[in-house]
Amino acid sequence: MNITHPFCDQDGDKLREECGIFGAINAPAAAPLTALGLHALQHRGQEAAGIVSYDGAEFFARRGNGHVVETFSAAEALAELPGFMAAGHVRYSTTGGAGLRNVQPLYADLASGGFAVAHNGNISNAMTLRAELVGRGAIFQSTSDTEVIIHLVATSRYPTMIDRLVDALRLVEGAYSLIVMTPEGMIACRDPLGIRPLSMGRLGDAVVFASETVAFDVTGAEFERHVEPGEMIHVGFDGKVESLRPFLPRRPRPCIFEHVYFSRPDSIYDGRSVYAARKAIGEQLAIEAPVEADLVVPVPDSGVPAAIGYAQQSGVPFELGIIRSHYVGRTFIQPSDSARHSGVKRKHNANRGLVAGKRIVLIDDSIVRGTTSLQIVEMMREAGATEVHFRVASPPTAHSCYYGVDTPERSKLLAARMDVEPMREFIKADSLAFVSIDGLYRAVGAAARDNAAPQFCDACFTGDYPTALTDLSAATDGAAQLSFPVGKVA
């Protein structure tokens, strides 16, 4: 169901969080506030952005491909979105692929009135539900899994909108954080496992919701609390906030990769500073995989906090041995056919005067396909490094994600095909080590992993999926027919 995003590093050699959502109700200028919040969440999706607003009588929508500033920077663009309630979405494409018809928030006129939804996550039985709905006569306008929720709400026979939404969500599996707008107010909710993040804040009389707390910092809102797993929060136009718990309680499994890479380091996730967690991962990595070296060098920018932690714990000096260009974007045009530099060299350059003659410890957040890691190691050697040791601030990524992360198919994940020593040979490093799964858990403030009852969703490392994978099983006619088994499914 996931597709590789066309503008990923190289051939998709990074895991990509697929969506960021922001919503505001009872705000004097809800759409401009939402656009600012989306800008803070731009790292969660850079393919397209959309905002839907409501002025008490009508819903208004504007969507566009590209970054938030490309669609919502002009005053006239935001003037098209009047009202005191708005929800927005930034995305890469997972289920459904690219195209304006899939840009969220999705909107529909239901019998009970307008209904707009912004969704972060992935519904792992969307194809099965869609086939059933189409068989009953439903007509879909997009190829997004999120539209399945709209159809389920529209066909529910319960009397109130909240009950219809609950009825719909009880039929879906997978991960979702939702911001829903109706003529009665705004509803925010997380799936019972809390796989994808969602937080609530306040700005004066306005209540705001966002995928990450950094959006509150940027908009001036005050972080109030995280939306709890399985919680549904309804905010009315009278300012009343109602918390509902309509689902059977389950042991939460928030995504641990938010700590490793997805969230901005200045966010708070699962009650812990992301920056502090990443530093702690680096410290743990230094304890588990020390090496004699002269410099600790981060792969920018995602490797920086872990590299600081590694350096502080090991006593090896931290230095910026790789300089990143912040001006290489998806519209980069090569000056000529003969100037065929790799994506890595366009984006990163060795600090040659610093690394020449040195033993280097490279710190990165993950290894996905391994192609970028290989090129960075080679770049260090070309710059004169005498030894290049690679340390990774996460366990080996050996399994695909089906919960809203753009992951290559499992056969293309380096750790699915190789053990650590062959991986080291592939990337041509002098040594290679990953933080252990227990070390990762400890670094983010948890006890060592309870294999019988894991505290996080860590399926990309362990293959221990917290939900059924109905569509995957249907598409492959059982995991046994896959070239690479999907792993344990809880």
Name, in order, each residue with C-beta under 8 angstroms of 374's C-beta and a sequence gap of 6 or more.
426, 427, 428
Inter-axis angle of helices 420-427 and 371-382, nearest 10: 50
Instruction: Decide which of 349 and 227 is more confident.
Output: 227
Q: How confident is the model at residue 332 (pLDDT cuts 50, 70, 90)?
A: very low
Question: Is the pLDDT reported for residue 159 higher than 50?
Answer: yes
DSSP 1: -
Nearest to 45 by CA among 67, 28, 27, 64: 67
Q: What is the mean pLDDT of the chain?
A: 89
Mean pLDDT of 19-40: 97
CA distance 186 to 177: 13
- β-pairing verdict for 222-226 and 206-210: unpaired
Contact 311/378 with Cβ under 8 angstroms? no
Percent of the chain residues topping a pLDDT of 70: 89
Contact 133/155 with Cβ under 8 angstroms? yes
pLDDT, position 476: 66
- Angle at the Cα of 55 (from 162 to 87), degrees rounded to 5? 60
pLDDT, position 409: 84
Element housing 86 (H / E) = strand 85-91
pLDDT, position 415: 96
Question: Is the pLDDT reported for residue 10 higher than 70?
Answer: no
Size of the chain, expressed as the number of residues it contains: 490
pLDDT, position 338: 39
User: At 259, phi and psi to the nearest 5?
Assistant: -70, -35
Question: Is the pLDDT reported for residue 479 higher than 70?
Answer: no
CA distance 234 to 435: 41
341 dihedral zone (left: phi>0; alpha: psi -120 to 50; beta): beta
- Each residue's pLDDT tens digit, 401-412: 999 887 778 889
Q: How confident is the model at residue 488 (pLDDT cuts 50, 70, 90)?
A: very low
Name, in order, each residue with C-beta under 8 angstroms of 327's C-beta and a sequence gap of 6 or more.
none
Mean pLDDT of 435-456: 96
Q: Radius of gyration of the chain from Cα atoms?
A: 23
Residues facing 340 on adjacent strands: none
Mean pLDDT of 55-60: 97
What are the DSSP E strand ranges found in 124-221?
174-182, 185-190, 199-203, 206-210
CA distance 453 to 139: 41
pLDDT, position 335: 40
Question: Is the pLDDT reported for residue 298 higher than 90?
Answer: yes
Nearest to 187 by CA among 176, 195, 196: 176
Residue spans of the domains in the chain: they are 16-252, 278-325+344-447
Residues 314, 316, 322, 326: is their CA dihedral positive or negative? positive
According to CATH, the topology of domain 16-252 is: Glutamine Phosphoribosylpyrophosphate, subunit 1, domain 1 (3.60.20)
Question: Is the pLDDT reported for residue 334 higher than 60?
Answer: no
Question: Is the pLDDT reported for residue 150 higher than 90?
Answer: yes
pLDDT, position 98: 56
pLDDT, position 405: 83
Contact 302/275 with Cβ under 8 angstroms? no
- Each residue's pLDDT tens digit, 196-230: 999 999 999 999 999 999 999 999 999 999 999 99
Strands of the 106-110 sheet, one edge to the other: 106-110, 113-123, 174-182, 185-190, 232-235, 241-244
CATH of domain 278-325+344-447: 3.40.50.2020
pLDDT, position 425: 98
Question: Is the pLDDT reported for residue 478 higher than 90?
Answer: no
Inter-axis angle of helices 304-314 and 274-288, nearest 10: 50
Q: Which are the catalytic amino acids? A: 19
Q: What is the DSSP string of 30-56?
A: HHHHHHHHHHHTGGG--SEEEEEEE-S
In the chain the first and final C-alpha atoms are separated, in Å, by: 20
- Each residue's pLDDT tens digit, 359-411: 999 999 999 999 999 999 999 999 999 999 999 999 999 999 999 887 778 88
- Angle at the Cα of 301 (from 267 to 190), degrees rounded to 5? 30
463 dihedral zone (left: phi>0; alpha: psi -120 to 50; beta): left
Question: Is the pLDDT reported for residue 95 higher than 90?
Answer: no
Q: How confident is the model at residue 475 (pLDDT cuts 50, 70, 90)?
A: confident
Show the DSSP H helices in 326-447 as ranges: 343-347, 352-355, 371-382, 414-417, 420-427, 437-443
CA distance 120 to 15: 15
